[in-house]
Amino acid sequence: MAAPSPAPQPPTVLELRQIHVPGRGQPRLDGVSLQLRPGERVALLGPSGAGKSTLLAVANGLLSPASGQVLWRGEPRARGARARRRQQARIGTLWQDLRLIDELTVQQNLNCGRLAQWGWPRAVLNLLLPLETNACRDSLRQLDLDPDLLEQPVSLLSGGQRQRVAIARLLRQQPTLLLADEPLASLDPRLAKELLELLLLHGQAPRALLLSLHRPDLLEGFDRVIGLRQGRLQFDCPLAALQPQQLQALYGESAVPVPHPLP
């Protein structure tokens, strides 16, 4: 657990310092710095190809930047394999394709969130017997899912149910940082809204949420907005301070997808 910090501001959940990721021709990320504190729910905006996915991959540890520093709860990448796994477990990523394991039941999928803590024997046992049933039921309830779904194969669930199971699996990790890369893309409006509400709900303090969005029309509920274009940070401000001109500059003249008035 993080010790209470004497500093006036709470410690960061995630900090990026001068991140540089080279690409073909122009860099995918060019000197990006940002800080995320507990309770902050941040939307990452930008046209496609802006570097949003790269930034999230760096934030989640899948991609190591060529230069710059990544700190999770104030600490760099852990060295030992075990410490690294523990660090990684605190970062929960919601993938656009959810990446559930279709061949397994809901309960087995939920327990995938515990694999970082479990050794071999329990991980194998999880494939034979229902483990930690109570905890799994609780996490289903947290997401308004019927606890009786536990025994169902994931492949039989509806799209909305799958999404919730994926979030429940995330929460089983007990993450402090929630990341999501374009989670709303290719969803119908009702599902998109539902999912966004769930993420905002579970991204509250002590967690922090960083979510990338292609379109700036679902910003309600976020605390902060970050704009990324061609691998560079364009703006990083509270939602209330965001100006329409900033969005226009971000998306260029041609396509200004700002259908709703900003809150």
Alpha carbons within 13 angstroms on the beta-carbon side of residue 117 total: 10
The distance of closest approach from Cβ of residue 64 to other proteins in the complex, given in angstroms and rounded to an integer, is 13
**68 part of the interface to other proteins, by CB under 8 A:** no
> What backbone torsions phi and psi does residue 36 show, to the nearest 5 degrees?
-125, 125
Q: Contact with other proteins (CB under 8 A): which of 12, 54, 88, 139?
A: 88
Contact stretch for other proteins (CB under 8 A) within 106-114, 144-152, 157-165, 214-222: 106-114
Between the two ends of the chain, the Cα-to-Cα distance in Å is: 36
The distance of closest approach from Cβ of residue 115 to other proteins in the complex, given in angstroms and rounded to an integer, is 3
3-state secondary structure of 163: helix
The distance of closest approach from Cβ of residue 193 to other proteins in the complex, given in angstroms and rounded to an integer, is 25
The distance of closest approach from Cβ of residue 171 to other proteins in the complex, given in angstroms and rounded to an integer, is 11
**Distance, CA of 65 to CA of 13 (rounded, Å):** 18
Looking up tokens 């969130």 gives 113
Contact stretch for other proteins (CB under 8 A) within 22-30, 103-111, 200-208, 255-263: 103-111
Instruction: Please name the residue ranges forming H helices in 96-158.
Output: 106-111, 120-125, 133-142
The distance of closest approach from Cβ of residue 120 to other proteins in the complex, given in angstroms and rounded to an integer, is 7
Q: Contact with other proteins (CB under 8 A): which of 12, 108, 139, 212?
A: 108
CA distances from 131 to 50, 112, 202, 221, 242 (A): 42, 11, 24, 36, 47
**253 part of the interface to other proteins, by CB under 8 A:** no
Q: Contact with other proteins (CB under 8 A): which of 13, 21, 42, 89?
A: 89
Nearer to other proteins, 19 or 242 (CB): 19
Q: Which residues make beta-bridge pairs with 235? A: 227
**Distance, CA of 24 to CA of 8 (rounded, Å):** 42
Instruction: Summarize as ranges the residues that interact with other proteins (CB under 8 A).
Output: 60-62, 81, 85-93, 95, 97, 99, 101-105, 108, 112-113, 115-116, 118, 120, 123-124, 127-129, 170, 173
